[in-house]
Amino acid sequence: MTDNTGSPVAIVTGSSRGIGLAVAHALAARGMRIVLNCSSERSLEGTQAQARAIASEHGTEAIAVAANVADADEAAALAAAALDAFGRIDVLVNNAGITRDGLAMRMAPEDFDAVVDVNLKGAFYCAKAVMRPMTKQRSGRIINMSSVSGVYGNPGQANYAASKAGVIGLTKALAKELARKGVTVNAIAPGFIETDMTAALSDDQKAHAQERIAAGRLGQPEDVAALAAFLASDEAAYITGQVICVDGGLSL
């Protein structure tokens, strides 16, 4: 185990690409040591390359750990790997997420379960795994990726909206449990952000989304990462249990 008095350490789940990777860069740019995470050994090599790029670009340390957050033991192993490498955990960004869209009437139970397993249970397992080190050091930040779907609902996303609404309940309950121990817990609810997840939408769907966004454009991963970096900072110490939309006014 390395010295635990160095710069803060952040775990970002599902950070091989998209919003998670942008969050990892934003935290590294603020001097944090980074634990990237991908869901399986198959993507580990690519994620290790991302870790090397982050370390050299921002002059910090970064490692990559393969762990399926939907598995409680693997989530615990992810936290253990962070402690083993860096000796402390200051920030957890529960970013890993999947969609399996479809109208509820035709949605297979497995598609409901799979989305809840990753998006909601995964966030709980990872939060549980970092709570002891964070409460022991009496400081920590847990940032959960929800969605405007979880706040307002979205047709074709009964599973996803339920999981992301669940993330909001989880955030508020944990915020109340952990506030006196110096740990804040907040949720970010992005709108339409341009990543692989939204690349699956048709041009029609994207155009329709864009019409409803007051800012007139889809968001970029960096738009979300900037808020995550703020919530992870010392300045955000008195903000807890909140859900903040990053959606260019989509939800107005």
**Can residue 197 be called a binding residue for ligand NAI (CB under 6 A)?**
yes
Told to check if 14 binds ligand NAI by CB under 6 A, we report: yes
In degrees and rounded to multiples of 5, residue 232 shows phi and psi of -80, -10
195 scored as a contact of ligand NAI (CB under 6 A): yes
Q: By three-state DSSP, how is residue 188 classified?
A: strand
Of these, 93, 198, 227, 245, which contacts ligand NAI (CB under 6 A)?
A: 198
Using CB under 6 A, which residues numbered 147 to 176 contact ligand NAI?
147
Instruction: Based on the residue annotation, tell me whether 152 is a catalytic residue of this protein.
Output: no
Sheet holding 183-190, edge to edge: 62-66, 33-38, 9-12, 91-94, 140-145, 183-190, 243-246
68 interacts with ligand NAI by CB under 6 A: yes
Task: Give the three-state DSSP class for 62.
Answer: strand
The torsion of the CA quartet 98, 102, 108, 110, rounded to 10 degrees, works out to 0
Residue 143 touches ligand NAI, criterion: CB under 6 A: no
Choose, by CB under 6 A, the member of 35, 65, 97, 131 that binds ligand NAI.
Answer: 97
CA 75/CA 226 separation, integer angstroms: 25
Residues tagged active-site:
160
Contact set with ligand NAI (CB under 6 A): 13-14, 16-20, 37-39, 68-70, 95-98, 118, 122, 145, 147, 190, 192-193, 195-198
